[in-house]
Chain A
């Protein structure tokens, strides 16, 4: 941001000054706050621009995000994905379940740019409708894992003691579960065709990671003097945790959760590919990829489109996570 010439330097201008405790010789203070900030310990820690009033760390992060092209591109992609997940009919007029076997594995045709799959369903329509399952699973699983993980991890980190020891061991056990094997065992006994068993399984596997990050950042935040200061004032645990620790510990959790969202979407596709994730008639990229894989020599287009959509979606969320990390990482501040 260019620094405009700052009128507050003019000591003849009264009223802008900051009243400093009377010094030996007295006299009015003619320094305004803004230019008075020193180059603090590091040169990276820069003061605010003169025109701004209040600048919270969140609004700082937002300002930085807005200027990051990675953030703009990824959030536009995600916005598009979310919109078509909610209203797929906006760009796909067909029905993903209405198939015509006579058109099995045919290539692109007018009105059906991506061609047909083995069942004769329109690949374009199915690819568009597939976003809904991926986004739903990704968002719900992330919300669940983040909520469960940050609450458990946060409490464990804040209170410590045996609860913390117990939680850490439990988390270790969950870390030990092999994802694919666990999925095959756990989900093969489920018969529901909704997304919820998959969401539940991903939450079960995902929360320990978030809990670990949350616990660590709560322990770091808890050691800050301002938490001690609140305690010296007589603040209770609830206030210390909610007002002082949580807001300062949440950034790493947000970053990890955003990146995890992308990987959860990929995980859902993996499970669906293996036949234990989502099941027909739910439309999912994973199922379509699985069906197309065996036909890759005859009809590569069947694989290309859902796989491409999946990759772009995962990429978009991981890019978003990266951008958020850049904005929130205190080390770069």
Chain B
């Protein structure tokens, strides 16, 4: 792997549950993120997949400092940024930017496109001299594939896909090194999604960006990611290269997730083996003991309730295509299913 630009270690975010009006008493915590670690190399795309409530968006918010972690460290080029504030924080923020999910709520409806994309320069005036800003904004519009003459228009004059391009241009304005994209295409029409994915891929090579790409669409994540982390109930249950995760999944949750994805091929209907999970994701306020997935897992045994499985490479696959970290006691016993589970 190339130089590690961002490293997350044992990241935890608990939202306290309180009772009482005047004298607030903590009665518990929603464990939104419960010990997440991963690294991101320069120019790399790390995909994070998981279902709603697994904590993937909370991780994204902590990466861009919109939420403060309860514990753990986020290192940017070796420096822990979780405790920063003031000027030092502002400097780091320049380098880690975010693209939001909903292009309808992420752009201020009262500002023109030029003001929205130019705002980063107002906040960080050292990046661009005042006289230069308009030109820069127009360049950015051009880069994301919008007509630079639209600089004076308002967001509601654009469609969803175009708004997402505006959001991307805003994220690019400060020339960041890392972009955290939280479900950047899931609110878009199918025919527009591919355009935005292509744009993100092109910008990555053009500006040498590193992406943390959060999504629930597994086929899109596979397309764009170099490595993929699978999250369940606030933890990373499996992480590896795209081939390792998609072709050799060793965690039962990953296997179930992959098999549940509808395949756009009616021929596959007959001979596809599907694992249909029973039940729902437990509440993060009251997660099960031991392995978080055990309540829905068909392999669960007593050990899974007693012992938290660690995210580690199973001994049985210490080398070979399946050698990647998986947080399952029985990861080594699980035969990776056939590779055609996802085209």
Residue numbers of A with Cβ under 8 A of B are 17-23, 33, 36-38, 40-41, 45, 47-48, 53-58, 224-226, 228-235, 239, 243-244, 247-248
Contacts and interface: CB of A to CB of B under 8 A. Distances in A.
25 contacts: A18-B147, A23-B195, A33-B150, A36-B159, A40-B159, A40-B160, A54-B112, A54-B154, A55-B154, A55-B157, A57-B109, A57-B110, A224-B105, A225-B101, A225-B105, A225-B106, A226-B106, A228-B100, A231-B66, A232-B64, A233-B97, A233-B123, A234-B94, A239-B122, A243-B119
Given A21-B199, A53-B153, A233 B119 contact: yes
B123 A234 contact: yes
B145 A248 contact: no
- 5 residue pairs, one from A and one from B, having the closest CB atoms: A225-B106, A247-B110, A234-B90, A234-B93, A21-B145
Contact of A19 (B105, B110, B145, B174): B145
Given A21-B199, A40-B160, 7 more contacts: A19-B147, A53-B152, A228-B106, A229-B167, A233-B97, A234-B89, A234-B124
Given A54-B154, A57-B154, A234-B94, A20 B145 contact: yes
B322 to A, nearest CB: 33
B98 interface: yes
A37 B159 contact: yes
Contacts of A248: 108-110
Given A224-B105, A232-B66, A248-B110, A54 B153 contact: yes
A33 B162 contact: yes
Interface of B: 61, 64-66, 89-90, 93-94, 97-98, 100-102, 104-112, 116, 119-120, 122-124, 142, 144-147, 150, 152-154, 156-160, 162, 167, 170, 174, 189, 195, 198-199, 202
A37 B159 CA distance: 5
A129 to B, nearest CB: 42
Contacts of A45: 156
B85 to A, nearest CB: 11
A225 B106 CA distance: 4
Contacts of A37: 157-159
A41 B152 CA distance: 24
B157 A47 contact: yes
A200 to B, nearest CB: 33
Q: Is the interface of A mostly helix, strand, loop or mixed?
A: loop
Contacts of B102: 225
Contacts of A36: 159, 162
Nearest to A54: B152
A225 B189 CA distance: 20
A309 B31 CA distance: 63
A226 B152 contact: no
Contacts of B170: 229, 233
Given A55-B154, A57-B154, A38 B189 contact: yes
Contacts of B61: 228
A244 to B, nearest CB: 5
Most interface-central of B61, B109, B170 (chain A CB within 10 A): B109
Nearest to B124: A234
Nearest to A17: B147
Given A37-B157, A40-B160, A234-B124, A229 B106 contact: yes
A229 B100 contact: yes
Contacts of B142: 19
Contacts of A57: 109-110, 154, 156
Q: Which of A21, A53, A247 has the most CB of B within 10 A?
A: A21
A247 B108 CA distance: 9
A268 to B, nearest CB: 34
A58 to B, nearest CB: 8
A230 B90 CA distance: 12
Nearest to A47: B157
B111 A243 contact: yes
A53 B160 CA distance: 18
A19 B90 CA distance: 33
A230 to B, nearest CB: 7
Contacts of A17: 147
Contacts of A244: 108
A33 B158 contact: yes
Contacts of B64: 232
B119 A230 contact: yes
A22 B205 CA distance: 14
Given A57-B154, A234-B93, A226 B123 contact: no
A22 B102 CA distance: 24
B59 to A, nearest CB: 14
A241 to B, nearest CB: 13
B106 A33 contact: no
A247 B110 CA distance: 7
Given A40-B160, A229-B170, A21 B119 contact: no
